[in-house]
């Protein structure tokens, strides 16, 4: 079972068939309007496609606001040097705010704000 399906089940949003429909990546413009699409909540899980360095600032802002980020790095995968720099900067940022970051697969990272930790050991 993929980590995203497990996360979906834990959050109560899983479904019996393929859960990929829940993981559609939201582009930067759509992310600004996500809160208007849902009833107010304390924490949102927001998918973000990392397309350039400007998206790093968006991720940081969402983490400051207490939201969880599912980040897709596929759009930047061919720019390995730039991608490493961005990932390292986001790792430093999450440590600074007492958050957490984990690689879910080759193209996805999970970033959490303070008070939310990721268990990285497999049982």
Write the DSSP assignment of 26-93 as a string of letters.
PPHHHHTTHHHHS---S--EEEEE--STHHHHHHHHHHHTT-EEEEE-GGGTT-HHHHHHHHHHHHHH
Question: Residue 121's pLDDT band (boundaries 50, 70, 90)?
Answer: confident
Largest distance between two CA atoms of the chain = 39
Instruction: Report which of residues 2 and 50 the model is more confident about.
Output: 50
Please give the average per-residue pLDDT across 54-65, as a whole number: 96
Instruction: Tell me: pLDDT of 6 over 70.
Output: no
Question: Residue 64's pLDDT band (boundaries 50, 70, 90)?
Answer: very high
Instruction: Tell me: pLDDT of 62 over 70.
Output: yes
User: Do 51 and 28 touch, CB atoms closer than 8 A?
Assistant: yes
Give CA–CA dist 56/30, Å, rounded: 16
Please give the average per-residue pLDDT across 100-114, as a whole number: 96
Please give the average per-residue pLDDT across 88-97, as a whole number: 97
User: Do 52 and 76 touch, CB atoms closer than 8 A?
Assistant: yes
**Model confidence pLDDT, tens digit, residues 13-37:** 554 444 444 455 555 555 555 556 6
Please indicate, yes or no, whether the overall pTM of this predicted structure exceeds 0.85.
Answer: no
Q: What domains does the chain contain, in order, with CATH numbers? A: 21-112 (3.30.110.150)
By DSSP bridging, strand 100-103 and strand 45-49 are: unpaired
Degrees, nearest 5: CA angle 93-20-37: 70
At 43, list the tokens: 């924490």
Res 31: pLDDT: 53
């Amino acid at each position: 079972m993929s980590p995203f399906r497990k996360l979906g089940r834990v959050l109560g949003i899983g479904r019996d068939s393929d859960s990929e429909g829940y993981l559609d990546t939201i582009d930067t413009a759509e992310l600004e309007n996500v809160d208007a699409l849902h009833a107010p909540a304390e924490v949102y899980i927001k998918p973000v496609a990392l397309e350039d360095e400007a998206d790093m600032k968006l991720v940081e802002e969402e983490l400051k606001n207490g939201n969880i980020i599912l980040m897709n790095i596929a759009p930047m995968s061919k720019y390995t040097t730039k991608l490493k720099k961005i990932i390292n900067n986001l790792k430093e940022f999450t440590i600074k705010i007492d958050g957490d970051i984990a690689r879910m697969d080759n193209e996805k990272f999970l970033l959490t704000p303070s008070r939310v930790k990721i268990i990285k050991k497999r049982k």
